Structure formats: structure tokens, C-alpha cells
Amino acid sequence: MQRLVSLYNLLLSKLSYIDWLGPLALRLYLAPVFIGVGLHKFANWDDMVAWFGNPDWGLGLPLPGLMVLLAASAELIGGLALLLGVATRLVTIPLMFTMLVAAGTAHWNNGWFAIAPGDPDTSTAKVVAMLGIPAAERSLENSVGVGERLEAARSLLKQHGNYSWLTERGPFVILNNGIEFAATYFIMLLVLLFTGAGRWFSLDYWLSRRLQGIPR
């Protein structure tokens, strides 16, 4: 047993040499996501303002112009900061807030899944439904309906269209637009809030060394 503990501690000590890899991977994954959505909002300003402010087919938020400006700025500046690894802990806070707002206003009523599963037997909701959670049980029922509609769509396309050409870039899905992506990004940002940008490949690391008087 003592040998196993020693081997485990040895493994942990070796992993410390690459402990920068996790934060770097998170930053490189999240940065293009936020840069992209921030640029999209600025490039489609009028449409975004209309969507943010319209109560009938949009989000119905007050001061939609200001809301778009705040969201787009947080995403664009935050994404660039994540890419460079500068002020990482600070920029995660407005980005997490943006994800909470997005989940609560644009995605909450659509449930969890971003893409609706079409098979209840393979849906992750099946595991949660075992705990007796009503929302998961409703999701499984919805999966049955999704599967039926996807099968009907495939049948029509195979009969009346070039199905192989239509699906050569990927299969057809039903977009559910739930909170899945917003929640996932929030969790990833939360990790960065506690870990920081990581060593070696971030400006935060080198600025910290400079301020502490540590030689390069």
C-alpha cells in the first residue's frame, strides 16, 4: 500500500511540470468562441439590437443597444484576453455573467440540450431520469417525438431529394437551443477563475514574475 502511495505522489510531482496544460487548453478552446460571437454581434448590430429588445420574437430586454454593447464588448475583449492569457481571472467574471444571462433569457425555456437527442435510449437524460427528476423524464418523452420527426424528414428527403448529397457534410438534427453550451462555457470559465491562465504561455505569468522581480 505504501508503495502505491509513493507511486501516486511521484505521478503528482511529475504532473506538476505540465500543470499549465489544462488552463492553456481551456483558454485556446474558449477564446475563438467568444471572439467569434463578439464580432458577430458588432457586425450585425441592428439585428442584434432588434432581437435583444423585441418582446414578441426576441429577448425583450430593456436598453437593448446598451445590452448588445456590453455583451459584445465582454465577449470580444474577454476572448482576446483569454487568448493572450492576460487579466484572465478578471475577464472570466463578466464572461460568466454573460453566460448566465444568455442561459436565463435565450435558452432556459428550451431545457438542457443544445441539439435535441432523437433516441431516448442513448440520451444522457436517461441517467438523470433514474433519479426521478421530472424535467429529465419530459426530455426523454421529447426525444421520442424528435426521433419520429427526424425519421419522417429522412424518409421525405430520401424519396424526393438527393439524400446522400444533403447529408455528406453531416446528419440532419433538430436544434433545441437549450442551456447546454452556456452552462458548459460557464463551468470552463469558473475553472479558469480559480486556476488562472497557467504558466509559461500567458502574459499573466510573465507579468507576475516581472512584478515579483523573478529573473526570466
Instruction: Clarify whether residues 101 and 39 are in a common domain.
Output: yes
Give the per-residue pLDDT at 2.
86
Q: Is residue 15 part of a domain?
A: no
Strand partners, 91: none
Burial tier of 73 (Cβ tally within 10 Å: 0-12, 13-18, 19+): middle
pLDDT digits (tens, 9 = 90+) for 11-57: 989 998 999 999 999 999 999 999 999 999 999 999 999 999 999 99
**Cβ of 207: how many Cβ atoms within 10 Å?**
13
Tell me the average pLDDT across 150-168: 92
Q: Is residue 144 part of a domain?
A: yes
Q: Which residue has the higher pLDDT, 51 or 135?
A: 51
pLDDT digits (tens, 9 = 90+) for 165-187: 999 999 989 999 999 999 999 99
Instruction: Clarify whether residues 99 and 126 are in a common domain.
Output: no
Give the per-residue pLDDT at 215.
58
Instruction: Clarify whether residues 148 and 168 are in a common domain.
Output: yes
Q: Is residue 4 part of a domain?
A: no
Q: Is residue 214 part of a domain?
A: yes
| pTM as predicted | 0.92
- Count of structural domains, the chain: 2
Instruction: Clarify whether residues 181 and 107 are in a common domain.
Output: yes
Give the per-residue pLDDT at 213.
73
For 48, 68, 81, 106, 209, the CA distances from 43, given in Å and listed in that order, are 9, 11, 20, 20, 38
* pLDDT, the chain, mean: 93
Q: Categorize the per-residue pLDDT at 206 as very low, low, confident or very high, splitting at 50, 70 and 90.
A: very high
Task: Give the highest mean pLDDT range of 69-78, 111-120, 163-172.
Answer: 69-78
Q: Is residue 39 part of a domain?
A: yes
**3-class DSSP state for residue 191?**
helix
Instruction: Clarify whether residues 94 and 181 are in a common domain.
Output: yes
Q: In the block, which residue shows the cell 423585441?
A: 54
Give the per-residue pLDDT at 214.
66
Instruction: Clarify whether residues 86 and 34 are in a common domain.
Output: yes
Tell me the average pLDDT across 53-70: 94
Q: What percent of the chain has pLDDT over 90?
A: 78
Instruction: Clarify whether residues 165 and 139 are in a common domain.
Output: yes
Give the per-residue pLDDT at 156.
94
Q: Quote the domain boundaries for residue 135.
A: 116-174
Instruction: Clarify whether residues 126 and 215 are in a common domain.
Output: no
Task: Give the highest mean pLDDT range of 1-5, 92-96, 205-209.
Answer: 92-96
